Amino acid sequence: MTNTTQAEFDLVVFGATSFVGQILSRYLMETYGTGGEVRWAIAGRSESKLASLKAELGDNASALPVILADASDDDALAAMCRQTRVIISTVGPYALYGEPLVKACVSTGTDYCDLTGEVQWIRRMIERYEDQARQTGARIVHCCGFDSIPSDMGVWFLQQKSEETFGQPCRDVRMRVKVAKGGLSGGTVASMINVAKEAGADPKLRKELANPFSICPPEHRSSTRQPSLKTAEFDKTFNAWLAPFVMGAINTRVVHRSNALQQARYGKEFTYDEAIMTGKGTKGRLTAYGIVAALGAFFTASAIKPTRWVVEKLVPKPGEGPSPESQEKGFYDIRFVGRTEDGKTLITKVTGDRDPGYGSTGKMLGESGMCLAFDVKDEVPGGFWTPASALNGKLLERLTTRAGLTFELLETR
The verdict on 140 and 32 lying in the same domain is: yes
Q: What's the domain range around 329?
A: 149-356+400-412
> Do 137 and 163 sit in the same domain of this protein?
no
Structure confidence by residue, pLDDT tens digits, 150-204: 999 999 999 999 999 999 999 999 999 999 987 655 666 676 777 777 777 777 7
Domain contains 341: yes
Residues 154 and 267 in one domain: yes
Question: Are residues 326 and 182 in contact, defined by beta-carbon separation less than 8 angstroms?
Answer: yes
Nearest to 105 by CA among 69, 65, 133: 133
What is the C-alpha to C-alpha distance for residues 302 and 198, in angstroms, rounded to an integer?
10
Question: What local confidence, expressed as pLDDT, does residue 271 receive?
Answer: 97
Are both 117 and 245 inside the same structural domain? no
In a domain, 3, yes or no: no
Q: What angle do CA 136, 138, 141 make, to 5 degrees?
A: 155
Kindly state whether residue 387 falls inside one of the protein's structural domains: yes
Q: Would you say residue 1 lies in a domain?
A: no
Q: Which pairing describes strands 405-412 and 345-352: parallel, antiparallel, or unpaired? A: antiparallel
Predicted pLDDT of residue 343: 95
Region at 72 (left for phi over 0; alpha for psi -120 to 50; beta for the rest): alpha
Let me know if residue 2 belongs to a domain. no
For residues 132 and 220, give the distance between their C-alpha atoms in angstroms, rounded to a whole number.
21
Same domain, 251 and 293: yes
Is residue 4 a part of any domain in this protein? Answer: no
- Please report whether residue 273 resides in a domain: yes
Burial of 205: CB neighbours in 10 Å, binned 0-12, 13-18, 19+ = middle
Residues 293 and 333 in one domain: yes
Total domain count, the chain: 2
- Residue by residue, pLDDT tens for the chain (413 residues) are 556 557 999 999 999 999 899 999 999 999 999 988 999 999 999 999 999 999 999 988 999 999 999 999 999 999 999 999 999 999 988 989 999 999 999 999 999 999 998 899 999 999 999 999 999 999 999 999 998 999 999 999 999 999 999 999 999 999 999 999 876 556 666 767 777 777 777 777 777 778 899 999 999 988 899 998 999 999 999 999 999 998 888 999 999 999 999 999 999 999 999 999 999 999 999 999 999 998 888 777 777 776 776 666 655 666 667 777 777 888 999 999 999 999 999 999 999 999 888 899 999 999 999 999 999 988 999 999 999 999 999 999 999 999 999 999 999 99
301 & 370 share domain: no
Same domain, 185 and 327: yes
Both 114 and 69 in one domain: the answer is: yes
| CATH code of 91's domain | 3.40.50.720
Q: Answer whether residue 340 is part of any domain.
A: yes
Is residue 99 domain-shared with residue 64, that is, in the same domain? Answer: yes
Q: Are residues 76 and 158 in the same domain?
A: no
- Please write the tens of the pLDDT for every residue from 297-352: 877 777 777 677 666 665 566 666 777 777 788 899 999 999 999 999 999 999 99
Q: What is the pLDDT of residue 318?
A: 62
User: Burial, 36: exposed, middle or buried (Cβ in 10 Å; 0-12, 13-18, 19+)?
Assistant: exposed
Could you tell me if 49 and 127 lie in one domain? Answer: yes
